[in-house]
Each structure stands twice: as C-alpha cells, then as structure tokens.
Amino acid sequence: MIPSSDIGIVGAGPAGATAAISLARRGYSVCLVDKAVFPRHKLCGDFLNPINWPLLAWLGIAEHVLTLPHEKISGFRISTAAGREAFFPFPTQAEGQGFGLGVSRLEFDHLLVRRAQTAGVKVLQGTRIKELKRENGHWFLTLMEPDGEKTIRAAFLIGADGRNSWVARHLGVASHSEGETEFIGLRLRLGEANGLKGEVQIHLFPGGYAGLVGIGGGTVNLCLTLDAHELKHNGPAGVILWDRLRQNPQLKRALGADPLAGEIHSIYPVRYPRRRPFGDGFLLIGDAAFAPEPVTGEGVYFALSSGELGAGTVHQGFVKGDLSAHQTASYEAAWRRRTAGRRRTNRLIRTLVNHPLWIGPLIGLSNRTAFPIRPLIRSVLNNSSQPTHMTEKHEDVPSPPPWP
C-alpha cells in the first residue's frame, strides 16, 4: 500500500520547514522531503535580520537560536571602492529583539528540521525525487532513498526546493530565461576579519559587492555577488575574487593582507524572472517562488514568511474543499500585499548597488544628515512595517508545544 500524507513538501530549508511546522500544528499529516542530510551547508549571507524574531518566537525556536554559535549584530556598515563609508546602528524594534544574528545556515536549518520533527512531521532526508505525477487529484512522488525506491502519495504538493527548483521546472512554471543572469553568488568562510565585531558589512567593488558577518566561533562569512562573465573568461576564481575585493580599501583592510584561501561555494542564478507560484494542487514557497535581492539580508525572513503564508493558504483550501488554482492564487495575491513595501525597497537598493557612482554621494550625505540611507535601513529592519503571522487572521493555529 502506498504511504499517504495530506501534504508533501519538497525542500526542508526555512520555507519548507516552516510550512511543515505550521500545517502539522493544524493537525495535517505532512511529509517533508530533502535530498540533503541535515546538518548541511547552505550558501547564504548567514545573517538573521531582526524582523525574524516574531516568526522565530511563533515557531518556538527563538530561545534555541540563541544557543547556537552566533554573533549579535547591532549595526550596518557600507563602503565603496572610492573609499567612502558609513556606519548605522540598528533602530529599536517595535516588537522582538533590537539586534540581528550572524548564524550559520548549517546550524539554523538543522534546528528548524528538528523542530518540524517534534511537531510530528515525517522528515525524509537524503531522498531525491525521481518522478512526480498527479492522478485523480493526488500527487505521487517516486523517491530515491539510500535503500531503494518508494512512492508516496499526497493530496497537496509544496515546492520549497530553492531558486533552481526541480519542482518548478517539472511543473512548467520556471522561465526558460532563468539562466540568463549577469550575476553569480559566491561564499567563503574566513577565520577572522578586522573591525567586524557586531556589524554586518556591505562593501562595493568593481563588478559586484561583498557582505561580511561574524557567525560565532571565530568564523566570518564572506558572501558576494560578481559579474558572471568575470569568472567565465578571466582565470581562476580565487585570483579573480582577490583582485576585485582588494579594490575596495575598507574591504581589503577587513580581510587582511593575504589572498583568499578556502573552498569557494557558488550559486547561479542569483535572480530570475517572476514565476507563477501556484496551480491546481500545488504552491511554490521560499526561493522556489520569490528570490529577494541578496544585499538586503532579508532572505531568511522571506523564506519563513512565505512558508507561514503558504501553509495558511493550503489550510483554507482544505477547509473549503477547494485545492484548485482558483483557490491557491490567493497565496500570490496575499504575498504581494504583504511584501509590496519591501519589494520596492529591494528594487531601489538593487539599483543603487548596481550604480556605485550614485552611492558615494549618498553615503556622504547620509554621514551628515542620515538621509537617505538610514530610512532605507529602517524599512529593511523594521518588523512593525509588515504583518506577520501574529498580526494576521490565523488564530486557528495553536501555539507551539514545549520543546526541550
């Protein structure tokens, strides 16, 4: 007999795990599938924006996040290759903590997966999807597990498997032009960086920008975007990166005198055209649906928030007995309402970062008057500016059970 669940979720990152926890707490049977075995590394800026605290508290993991190796982040620094820089302390939050965290996704994602398991979610790790089909209103997923193939059945499917989503491509909602992007994302882990304590830093250099944040244990995450053509045509990645990064004097000082060492991880594309994140019996959430501008540090928030919102949409579909595209379309509409302000800010910041000649004068102006960069930072970090689970109508979701 084929094992059956109410909801099958592909991808156990922050979006998938959040949706799984939310649905399990509503009483649904949930199967969460991921090709990786947790804990696993994930290319990310490793920065938890302060806006995440209400969602972390609702998930029941806020206190547990603070037990992970981390560094408290209370300010933001930006610099240009021309030598201009500015520092801004984080604003006081209307709700939650007034600081962010530098914390490894290796640790954070594993915490979320364990939380999902304690909520009653069936988690299948080290499992790849071989085939996906829909028959008679149910999804059938053929899985490749270490001990062989098996098939599971689900009434509803959620794709949470990242920006290169296998589910999106298989369902035909990924654009054919998604690989035609000019930027590639890269990450290195460093043993130390100068002048970084308690700050998240963005440094602009010719052809891209880099983010630095401490993640505890004497480790620093260096995450950057670079014009993809640089790596395709100009030689070894480590040499190219060091040549570009040291063109920013503040970044060169932070990294020290030695060329970059260590393994370089990459992700491509960094951004892609809009996908349709809904259809008959399915939703896409997290980066599988929406890829935010990396420089804003909102990636984890967008993932957690879309997972929570997607779960609410699925629940309403089951309540109404309607899992059609007509019902699931409400997810995209609600997401656009929730993130309208943030998406506008993302576009503005992307424009500024991609035109470094504009940034220098704005940094100079902000050092004198705090305008316009401080208001941009406030809009990115202020959790009162966007509704979350606690301020919207989802009272039917019980509070998280105690978790030792």
Question: What does the pLDDT look like over 359-399, one tens digit per residue?
Answer: 888 888 888 887 888 888 888 887 654 444 443 444 455 65
Could you count the other beta carbons within 10 Å of the beta carbon of residue 187?
22
pLDDT the model gives residue 389: 44
The pLDDT, as a whole number, for residue 402 is 58
| Domain extents in the chain | 4-177+271-385
Rounded distance between C-alpha atoms, residue 46 and residue 97, angstroms: 18
Q: Distance between CA 94 and CA 47 in Å, rounded?
A: 20
| Encoded tokens for 303 | 């993932």
Q: Are strands 138-145 and 148-159 parallel, antiparallel or unpaired?
A: antiparallel
Task: Give the chain's residues under pLDDT 50.
Answer: 385-395, 404
3-state secondary structure of 108: helix
Q: What is the pLDDT of residue 107?
A: 97
Longest dimension (CA), the chain: 70
Helix (H) / strand (E) element for 377: namely helix 373-381
Tell me what pLDDT residue 186 has: 87
User: CB-hemisphere CA count at 13 Å for 215?
Assistant: 22
Is the N-terminal amide bond of 54 cis, ω within 30° of 0?
no
Separation in Å, CA 47 to CA 43, 251, 375: 12, 18, 20
Q: What is the pLDDT of residue 269?
A: 73
Kindly list the distances between the CA atom of residue 390 and the CA atoms of 53, 72, 299, 394, in Å, as whole numbers in the listed order.
12, 24, 20, 8
Dump pLDDT digits (tens) for 167-176. 999 999 987 5
The CA distance from 225 to 314, in Å, is: 35
Taking the C-alpha atoms of residue 184 and residue 227, their distance in angstroms, rounded to an integer, is 6
Burial code (b: 16+ CB inside 10 Å, e: under 16) for 232-269 equals eeeeebeebbbebbbbbebbbebbeeeebeeebeebeb
Tokens of 96: 């939650």
Q: What is the pTM of this model?
A: 0.92
Nearest to 3 by CA among 36, 31, 43: 31
Predicted local confidence at residue 343, as pLDDT:
87
pLDDT at 176: 59
- The domain 4-177+271-385 is placed in CATH, from the list 3.50.50.60, 3.30.930.10, 1.10.1040.10, 3.30.200.20, at 3.50.50.60
Residue with tokens 């806006």: 51
Which pair of tokens denotes residue 266? 């990459």
